[in-house]
């Protein structure tokens, strides 16, 4: 698919104070017509926190570990991305039309922009959070390869923007904290990428309990294998390689890039790390949330 160049590298657009990819900002109006169902399950994350991984795990769970069924379509079709919209590609809302219940849905929206119907219908949410330093590095590479983002500039300038919340979806700090607080009033399973790396089986058990399902041990083992970084990297239905190169250029950086915890250490300078830690301490001072930036 040939894409016009004018739809890429556009400046972010602010909606209710939240900077967004322009096309996603445009999708928020039409998204008002979206009706949540009580049996929907929402996967919510700040970008680059393990969204695709958890989506694949949940699709496998919903299909009793049947790998063939999970090959039926790319992950962004199997788990519609609510606010997704890019000219020339099916929007999240369009993908939803063909999605049978019970539906898996994905969003990165902060609460200020989340469709109210999801809260009204008490839709269960699985939130996945990842330590901010690895998110920043992963986001930088993603900005490079996914041209719906503005140009990332140098790593140093991107890190400054990330710290200031001037990247698509706004500040990481606010996102992870507001969804953490929401679990006091809304059914949310709050997971950490680092815990999933450490012990995927333990985290899959948590997911099964939360969604009220059970699976035989051997099926869980199959899911762990099928959703390992190594397998997902090679799986065209999980690795975004079916999209046009104009949109995502895996030669610039693969979507399935490294899949590890602590990669930030090879990117942050000592000075950047000190500055980041000081800012982080200030932003997270009042939060009970604790992250691990290494395992």
Which stretches of the chain bind ligand A3P, using CB under 6 A?
45, 47-53, 134, 138, 141, 227-229, 232, 256-259, 263
Of the CA atoms within 13 Å of residue 224, those in its CB half-sphere come to: 17
Q: Which tokens in the block code for residue 192?
A: 């950490």
Nearer to ligand A3P, 51 or 85 (CB): 51
Q: Which is closer to ligand A3P, CB of 117 or CB of 253?
A: 253
Nearest approach in angstroms of CB 272 to ligand A3P is 17
Say if residues 139 and 171 touch (Cβ distance below 8 Å).
no
Q: How far apart are CA 54 and CA 43, in angstroms?
A: 8
Question: In this structure, are residues 135 and 168 in contact, taking their beta carbons and an 8 Å threshold?
Answer: no
Per the annotation, the verdict on 63 as an active-site residue is no
Which is closer to ligand A3P, CB of 101 or CB of 267? 267
Q: Of the residues 23, 108, 149, 175, which is catalytic?
A: 108
| H/E element, 133 | helix 132-145
Per 3-state DSSP, what percentage of the chain is helix, strand, and coil (rounded to 5)?
Answer: 45, 10, 45
Report the residue number, 121 or 273, with the smaller CB distance to ligand A3P: 273
DSSP state of 248: B
Please tell me the distance from the alpha carbon of residue 21 to that of residue 8, in angstroms, as a whole number: 10
Q: Which is nearer to ligand A3P, 53 or 192 (CB)?
A: 53
For ligand A3P, give the closer residue by CB, 47 or 92. Answer: 47
Q: Are strands 124-129 and 188-192 parallel, antiparallel or unpaired?
A: parallel
Instruction: Tell me the C-alpha distance between 133 and 26, whole Å.
Output: 29
For the CB of residue 79, give the shortest distance to ligand A3P in the complex, in Å.
11
How far is the C-alpha of 280 from the C-alpha of 53, rounded, in Å? 26
CB of 181 to ligand A3P, least distance (A): 21
Q: Are 102 and 39 in contact (CB under 8 A)?
A: yes
- For the bound state, the minimum distance from the C-beta of residue 48 to ligand A3P, rounded and expressed in Å, comes to 4
Query: Closest separation between CB of residue 255 and ligand A3P, Å?
Result: 7
Q: State the minimum distance, in angstroms, from the CB of residue 284 to ligand A3P.
A: 20
Alpha carbon distance 48, 276 (integer Å) = 18
Nearest C-alpha neighbor of 3 from the set 225, 261, 195, 243: 243
Structure-token pair, residue 107? 């969003």
Residues with a known catalytic role: 108
């Amino acid at each position: 698919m040939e894409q016009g160049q004018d739809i890429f590298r556009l400046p972010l657009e602010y909606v209710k104070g939240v900077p967004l990819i322009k096309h996603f900002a445009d999708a928020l109006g039409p998204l008002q017509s979206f009706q949540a169902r009580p049996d929907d399950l929402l996967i919510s994350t700040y970008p680059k926190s393990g969204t695709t991984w958890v989506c694949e795990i949940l699709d496998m769970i919903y299909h009793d570990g049947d790998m063939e069924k999970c090959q039926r379509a790319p992950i962004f079709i199997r788990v519609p991305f609510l606010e997704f919209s890019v000219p020339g590609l099916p929007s999240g809302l369009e993908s939803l039309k063909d999605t049978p219940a019970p539906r898996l849905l994905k969003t990165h929206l902060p609460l200020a922009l989340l469709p109210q119907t999801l809260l009204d219908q008490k839709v269960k949410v699985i939130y996945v959070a990842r330590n901010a330093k690895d998110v920043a590095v992963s986001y930088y590479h993603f900005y490079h390869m996914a041209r719906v983002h503005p140009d990332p500039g140098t790593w140093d300038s991107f890190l400054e923007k990330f710290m200031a919340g001037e990247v698509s979806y706004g500040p990481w700090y606010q996102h992870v904290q507001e969804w953490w607080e929401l679990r006091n009033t809304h059914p949310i399973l709050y997971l950490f990428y680092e815990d999933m790396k450490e012990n995927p089986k333990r985290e899959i058990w948590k997911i099964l309990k939360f969604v009220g399902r059970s699976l035989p041990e051997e099926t869980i083992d199959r899911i762990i294998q099928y959703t390992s970084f190594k397998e997902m990297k090679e799986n065209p239905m999980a690795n975004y390689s079916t999209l046009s190169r104009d949109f995502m250029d895996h030669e610039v950086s693969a979507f399935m890039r490294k899949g590890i915890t602590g990669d930030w250490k090879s990117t942050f300078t000592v000075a950047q790390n000190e500055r980041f830690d000081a800012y982080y301490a200030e932003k997270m001072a009042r939060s009970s949330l604790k992250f691990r930036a290494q395992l």
